[in-house]
Amino acid sequence: MNKGTTSLIIIILILASISGVLYVKYELPRRRNMQKGFANVSISAMYGGKYIDSTLVIQNGDTKEITTRNGYEFLRLKKGIYEIYNKNTSQNFYRSILEYNISLDVQRIDFELSKPKEVTIKSSNNGSLIEIEVDSENFQNAKLCLQHSTNYIFLNLESKEEIDLLDGYEDWDKCYSLEKSIISKEKLNISYEIFVIPTEEDFIKIAIIDTDFINGEYRNRLDGTDLGGEDQIKKVA
């Protein structure tokens, strides 16, 4: 074995040793949450600068639940990396999932909640295209569903992806993902054709629906109950 090969092997061994030491010293404790000792944690749920009653789930291998009531609740936790999220409540806050490194002997957590805001819909119809303007301060992961009578055909929400029909909208014709949350004004176009001249009984309706990320997918309902904000339905033709 020549000197060059020997030197290369030595360098590789040194780098491997350094990587192993760094992993054992820093990454392994983080992954296994093996930091020694416990922390006294005070935790609150807040919205708009005010304390909110909410049930928080705190998990790191084991799962704990705590209900905050107009201030801080106190608990003792082993130091480590924790995932915390709020459960769905009658107040209809969106679920937020946040990661916290609890590493101090005394630590305070203010868990900020996010709430849906009312959405409004404006529309104008020029005979083959319906222009929609949707406005909200916070309507999360929005979807749109279409329903129409048989004298309207080939309805399509332009430039948006069609998705499976949402819970509660199984008898509608199409649903689409808007691929974003509505936090200001969003303009949309619905194209269509007329099969025969519409009568007063004919219609085109849209529903604007927000969703929440539950069990690995975006859902608009859970156990038959709407998640987040109230769906807005409007007749646009």
Reported as a single tens digit per residue, the pLDDT across 110-165 is: 999 998 999 999 999 988 899 999 999 999 999 999 999 999 999 999 999 999 99
Instruction: Identify the residue with better confidence: 209 or 17.
Output: 209
> Distance from CA of residue 53 to its chain's centroid?
21
Q: Is the pLDDT of residue 166 over 60?
A: yes
- What pLDDT is recorded for position 1? 56
User: Quick one: CA dihedral 209, 218, 185, 128, positive or negative?
Assistant: negative
To which residue do tokens 């922390």 refer? Answer: 39
DSSP state of 164: P
Q: Which residue ranges form the domains of the chain, and what is each CATH number?
A: 38-112 (2.60.40.1120), 120-235 (2.60.40)
Q: How many CA atoms lie within 13 A of 114 on its CB side?
A: 15
12 has a pLDDT exceeding 60: yes
Most confident of 55-64, 184-193, 217-226: 184-193
Give CA separation, 91 vs 61, 80, 211, 229, in Å. Answer: 28, 30, 15, 10
Is residue 61 within 8 Å of 128, Cβ to Cβ?
A: no
Whole-number pLDDT of residue 32: 54
* Mean pLDDT along residues 204-232: 87
Q: Mean of the pLDDT values across residues 12-29? A: 66
Beta strand pairing status for 97-102 and 106-112? Answer: unpaired
Q: Which residue has the higher pLDDT, 75 or 14?
A: 75
**Are the beta carbons of 173 and 149 closer than 8 angstroms?**
no
What pTM does this model have? 0.72
Confidence of residue 30 (pLDDT cuts 50, 70, 90): low
